[in-house]
Structure 1
Amino acid sequence: MLYSNGLRRSFGALHSHSLYASASTRRALHYDGRNRLSNFWTPTQVKNRSQSGDEDGHDLLMRAGFLRQAHSGIFHLLPLGLRVQNKIECLIDKHMLMLGASKVSLSSLSSEELWQRSGRLEGRGSEFFRLQDRKEAKYLLSPTHEEEITTIVANAVHSYKDLPLRLYQVTRKYRDEARPRQGLLRGREFLMKDLYTFDVTDEQARQTYEAVRNAYAAFLDELKLPYLVANADSGNMGGKLSHEYHFASDKGEDIVIGCNSCDYSINEELYVGCRLARDGERSMEAQMYYAVSKDRKKLLQVLYPRDLDLNSYAIKALFPDVDPSVEDALSTWVDAAQAHDSCGTRVLLADSRVVGVSRAHDSPSAVPIEVKDGLCPIQISTEILEPKLEGRQVLLTKAQKGDPCPNCANGHLSLQKAVEIGHTFHLGTRYSEPLDLQVLDANNKQATVSMGCHGIGISRLIGAAAALLADKKGLNWPLAIAPFGTMLVSTSGVSLDDVHAMYDVLSDAGVDAAIDDRERPMGWKLNDADLVGYPFIVVLGKAWAEKRAVELQCRRLGVKEQVGGQELVGKMAEYSMRL
C-alpha cells in the first residue's frame, strides 16, 4: 500500500550527479537491501514473429517469465510467479487471522482407508494419483483434505468448550485431470487455501459459514477485481448449501446466471427456470430425450422445445431416480423389460411450451416411442410427470439471455462466462458422522460436530487475474498482488545515487518498488516492464535532470504524465485507490 505521509528520507540525496558504476561492477551481484532486477531472475522472452493472433493470459505468464511447464497440467513457478503467489498467501493469512483461524500444514499423502470410510473413494478412481508403499499400504495424493483434518480433530477435541475451531492451510493438491487445459486454470497439480470449520450445532455452523462468506468478500474486495458470487451445487463435497466465487471471463468454464432487477445469482448447474403461461404465447416444436431409471424399470421420455438445450439439473430435480450415465436408454429399458417378461413403464415429461402438451396429458398413447422399426416390442404403461417443483411449473431447458427471472416479477436474466476461484461449503455432519467426530455438549451428551470447508484456488486465481486484465502489451496486475508494485527505470544520464534515493523515498512510503538496473536499452526495459505488468513505472530521464520531475506511467489507468519528485508518492497513492 501507499502512504503519502510516510516520507522519512530527505530528497537532498536526489541531486547527486555521479555516473553509473563500471560495467564490471554492474554485472556483479550486489545486495544492499534494495530490490534490483540485476539480482532477480526474470527470464522474459520476446514474442516469436511466427506467432499469429493475440496471446492469452497463460501465453503471457509463460513469456513474461512467471512460470514454465514441466508436464501436462504441471507447472514450475519462477521468481516473479512466486512473488505473486506469496502476496496472495499474505492477503489470505490476514483475512484468516481476522476469522480466528489457525494455520496448519497437512501432508499431501492421504490414506485410502479414510476415503473409503467417508464414502468418497468409490466411483472416482480415475481422478486420483494413487500409490503404495513397500508394505503395500495404499495412499493417494490428496485432491482435498476433509478426511484427514476430521480425523485429526476427532482425536484431539472432545468437549464443546474446545469449539468453535477454525483451521486452514495453503498447500499443493493433485487431481488426475483427463484433459488439463488453459494453464493454471485446470491443472493436475495446483495450490489451494483450505479452511475447515467445526461447530457444536448446525445453527452455529451456519453462522460461521456467513462469517467466512464475509471474509471472502473482504479478500476479493482488496484485489479490486470484479467478481461474482453464485449459489452452487455442492457436488461430491456434500451438504446442500454452497457458494462459488468467480471472475467474469470469456475463458471460463462456468456460466453464472444473474438478474438485472434482484440479487438472484446462480451457477448454471443449479438453475431451474419457471414461467407462468402467457396469453398468445406461441407453442414450439418438440424434440425428444430418453433416460432410464437406476433400476432400469422406467423410461423417462422428455419432450422439450426444439433448438434449445435440455437442462439436466431440472430433469434430475423432477425425476431423482434418473441414471444419466446410460447412453442408449431406450434399448436398456426394453432389454430389462424383456429379461423380466414384464410391462415397461414410461414416464412422460413434457415442457409446457411444446406443441401437443395437452394431447400428451389427455392421450399419452398418442406420443410414440421412437424405435427403429416403428413398433415398441414390449407392452407399455404410461405415467404422466408434471414439470412442477414446489407448486411452480418449471422449464426443462437451460437459461437464455432475457428469460424472466424465477426469483422476482420484473427481472430478466443475463448469462456470464466465469472462472471459479473460490468455493464455500456448509457440510453439516457429512464427514464428522462417518469419521466419528463427536464432542460432549453442554448437557453432557454426545453431539456430532457440524463442519464447513472453504477453498480458494490460488493457482487458478493467478491464472484468472492474468487473463482478466491482460492487453496487447502484456499483463496488468492488481496492485495488491503484483510481483512489484513499481518499477524504477532510468536513463544513462541519471546517477545511481539519485535512483537509490528515489527508491528509498518510495520504500519508506510503503511502496513495493524495484530498480531495473540491467544492462539493456531504455526502450527494451520499458517494453519488458509492460510485458510483466507492473502497476506503476517511474522513469527518471531528461525531465529529472532539468526540473527534478519523473514520468509516471500506469497503463491500466491510461496515465503517462510528468510529476515532480516531491509530489510522486501522493500522486501514486491517489491512483492506487483504483488499482
Structure 2
Amino acid sequence: MNKASRLFCPALITPKNAVVKQTEQLSRSQKLLTELGLVKSGSNGTYQIMPMAQRSVDKLIGLVQSNMGLAGGQKISLPILTSTQLWKKTGRLEGDISEFYMVRDRSGKQFLMSPTHEEAVTAMLASTSPISYRQLPLRLYQIGPKFRDELKSRFGLMRAKEFLMKDMYTFDVNEETATRTYATVSAAYDRLFQQLEVPFVKVNAATGIMGGSLSHEYHYVSPVGEDTLLQCSSCGFAGNSEVLESSLEESPTSCPSCKSTSLSTVRGVEVAHTFLLGDKYSKPLGATFLNTSGKPQSLIMGCYGIGITRIIAAALEVLSSDHELRWPKLLAPYDVCLIGPKQGSKEQLPAEAIENELLGNIGELCGHQELLHDDRKELTIGKRLLEANRLGHPLTVVVGAKAVQSEAPKLEVHLSEGDSLELDVNEALKLVAEHSQHKRDLLLGRFEQFNEKVGHQL
C-alpha cells in the first residue's frame, strides 16, 4: 500500500518572511511541480523526476506503448550515441549544429548525443539489407532520452536539454503504402490525445530539418507555447501561422476552411510531430529491400515523435490553476487519496475503524496501487487536505468527525475540479467506482470525439 509517510516528495519550504528573487520566468506547471517536490532542477536545463511524477511518466509510457502496439509498432532500443559519419552522409551536419551535443571517444571518433535517431535506425536497416518486401511495412519505435543544447531552456520539462521521447520509424515499399502507414500511425496519435482528455489542435506543419513531403504537429494551446497558431472560432480550424503564411504568401485574414473572419492568434506547445520522409535517409545510407522482381529498392520512410515529459508538463500547464495541479485522469499519480482522523482527536478510534475498512474497499475498486493513504496523523486533516488538493488527486476522501456522527454519518469527498461533497460510505464508493470505470472506458477507446476542439488539417 502507498503511504504518504513513506513517499519521497521533497517539497520546497520557503520561510514565511523570505524574499524570493525570481531569476527566470516560470511556467505554472514548472512552479507547481517544483514547489510540491515532484520535480527537482538538476543542472541548467536538466530535471530530476521524483517518485510521484515518475508514476505519471510511467502511465503515459504505458498508454503510448499500447497505442503504438495497436498501430503495429515493435519496440526497440537504440544507442544514445550516434556516429557523426552517418549524419554527414545525410547532410544533416551541414549548417547550424549548435544545438547538438558532440562527444569523442578515446580514439578520437566523434559521436552525437542523439537528438533524434533517423540515421541510426536507417543504418541498422541498411546493415541487414536487402530485406524482403514480405517483411514490410516495418514499424519500429523506442522510448528514451534525447538531447538538445537549447539556447534558452525554460518552463521546466517543456523545453529541457535532456528529455524523454517516443520516436517511431516506419519502412514501406512505396509512397502509397507509406501514406497508408502514415494514416494508421496518425490515427493512433489521435486516439492517444483523445484518451488524455486535454483539448488539442492538429495542424499542417513545415518539414524543416527532418525533410520529407508531409508533416503534422499536435499542440496544446497555452500562453507559454512557442508556436503561433491561427484558430477559427466559427469552424474550429487551426493552422500553424508559419505554414499558412508560406502557402498563401501573406498572413490570412479569413479562415482557409470556412472563409469566416473569426480568426484569432493563439500560442501552442508542440507535443507530437509526424513526418512522411520518402527516401531522404534510406537512399544515402543504402537501406533497401528486395522488390517482387528480386531487385533492391530504397525503403520509403516515416517518423513519428511524441514528447513524453513535455506532454506531462504541457497538460498540467493547460489544466491546472495557479495553486493546484490538475492531471489528465489517466496520468494522475494516484486515483484516490484517503485521509484519516488526526492522532489524539476524540473521533480517532471509531473513525479509524471506518478508515481501515475503506482502505480495503477503495483498493478493490480502483486497484491498491492507485490508492494513496495519507497516514501522517500527527498533521491536522486541514493541512493534509490542503496538500492533497494542491497535488491534484482526482478524488480525496476524508474520514473525520462527520464520519462518526450518530445520525447520517458522512465522508468528505473532494474532487480535483474543486467540488466538495458530503457522502455516505456507499455513495463515496460509488464515486470511486465511476471514476475507475471512466478510466477503463478511456483505455478501451470509449470517449467522446473532440471534433469541436481538434483543429482541421489544412
Q: Does 1:540 align with 2:394?
A: no
- Give the drift of 1:395: 5.2
Deviation track 1:94-130 (CA, whole Å, cap 9, x = no partner) reads 1111112111111111110111111111113211111
Alignment-derived partner of residue 475 in structure 1: 325
Structure 2 residue corresponding to 1:80, chosen from 24, 48, 52: 52
* Secondary structure, counterpart of 1:509 in structure 2: helix
What amino acid sits opposite 2:167 in the alignment? D
Structure 2 residue corresponding to 1:233, chosen from 182, 203, 206: 206
* Alpha carbons 2:276, 2:301 under 8 Å: kept: yes
Q: Does 1:99 align with 2:71?
A: yes
Aligned positions of 1:380-419 closer than 5 A: 394=248, 396=250, 398-399=251-252, 403-410=253-260, 412-419=262-269
Structure 2 residue corresponding to 1:430, chosen from 277, 280, 288: 280
Alignment-derived partner of residue 373 in structure 2: 515
* Alpha carbons 2:27, 2:155 under 8 Å: kept: no
Which range is displaced more, 411-420 or 215-224? 411-420
C-alpha distance in 1 between matches for 2:275 and 2:237: 19
- Give the drift of 1:55: 7.2
C-alpha distance in 2 between matches for 1:520 and 1:436: 65
What amino acid sits opposite 1:505 in the alignment? N
- Give the drift of 1:524: 1.4
TM-score normalized with structure 2 length: 0.87
Which runs of 5 or more residues in structure 2 are unaligned? 343-347, 443-458
Deviation track 1:428-477 (CA, whole Å, cap 9, x = no partner) reads 11111111111011232322111111111011111112211221432111
C-alpha distance in 2 between matches for 1:395 and 1:48: 55
Aligned positions of 1:111-150 closer than 5 A: 111-150=83-122
Q: Does 1:421 align with 2:290?
A: no
- Give the drift of 1:496: 4.5
Q: Does 1:531 align with 2:387?
A: no
Deviation track 1:310-362 (CA, whole Å, cap 9, x = no partner) reads xxx46xxxxxxxxxxxxxxxxxxxxxxxxxxxxxxxxxxxxxxxxxxxxxxxx
Alignment-derived partner of residue 134 in structure 2: 161
* Alpha carbons 2:84, 2:111 under 8 Å: kept: yes
Question: Which of structures 1 and 2 has the larger relative contact order (alpha carbons within 8 angstroms, sep 6+)?
Answer: 1
Alignment-derived partner of residue 21 in structure 1: none
C-alpha distance in 2 between matches for 1:536 and 1:223: 18
Q: Does 1:569 align with 2:419?
A: no
* Secondary structure, counterpart of 1:250 in structure 2: coil
What amino acid sits opposite 1:36 in the alignment? K
* Alpha carbons 1:44, 1:528 under 8 Å: kept: no
- Give the drift of 1:505: 1.4
Structure 2 residue corresponding to 1:459, chosen from 300, 309, 312: 309
* Secondary structure, counterpart of 1:126 in structure 2: coil
Deviation track 1:264-302 (CA, whole Å, cap 9, x = no partner) reads 432112012xxxxxxxxxxxxxxxxxxxxxxxxxxxxxx
- Give the drift of 1:568: 2.0
Alignment-derived partner of residue 554 in structure 1: 415
* Secondary structure, counterpart of 1:125 in structure 2: coil
Alignment-derived partner of residue 285 in structure 1: none
* Secondary structure, counterpart of 1:208 in structure 2: helix
* Secondary structure, counterpart of 1:534 in structure 2: coil
* Secondary structure, counterpart of 2:329 in structure 1: coil
Q: Does 1:109 align with 2:77?
A: no
* Alpha carbons 2:232, 2:260 under 8 Å: kept: no
1:159–1:48 CA distance, 2 compared to 1 (3 A): farther
Alignment-derived partner of residue 32 in structure 2: 60
- Give the drift of 1:231: 0.5
* Alpha carbons 1:58, 1:466 under 8 Å: kept: no
C-alpha distance in 1 between matches for 2:236 and 2:134: 38
**Structure showing greater Rg:** 1
* Secondary structure, counterpart of 2:112 in structure 1: strand
1:263–1:59 CA distance, 2 compared to 1 (3 A): closer
- Give the drift of 1:45: 3.1
Alignment-derived partner of residue 186 in structure 1: 159
Alignment-derived partner of residue 499 in structure 1: 355
* Secondary structure, counterpart of 2:284 in structure 1: coil
Deviation track 1:399-448 (CA, whole Å, cap 9, x = no partner) reads 5xxx2123444454222211111111111111111111110112323221
C-alpha distance in 1 between matches for 2:20 and 2:387: 18
Alignment-derived partner of residue 307 in structure 1: none
* Secondary structure, counterpart of 2:428 in structure 1: helix
1:102–1:139 CA distance, 2 compared to 1 (3 A): same
Deviation track 1:518-546 (CA, whole Å, cap 9, x = no partner) reads 23222211111122111111111122223
- Give the drift of 1:263: 6.0
What is the root-mean-square deviation of aligned Cα atoms in Å?
2.2
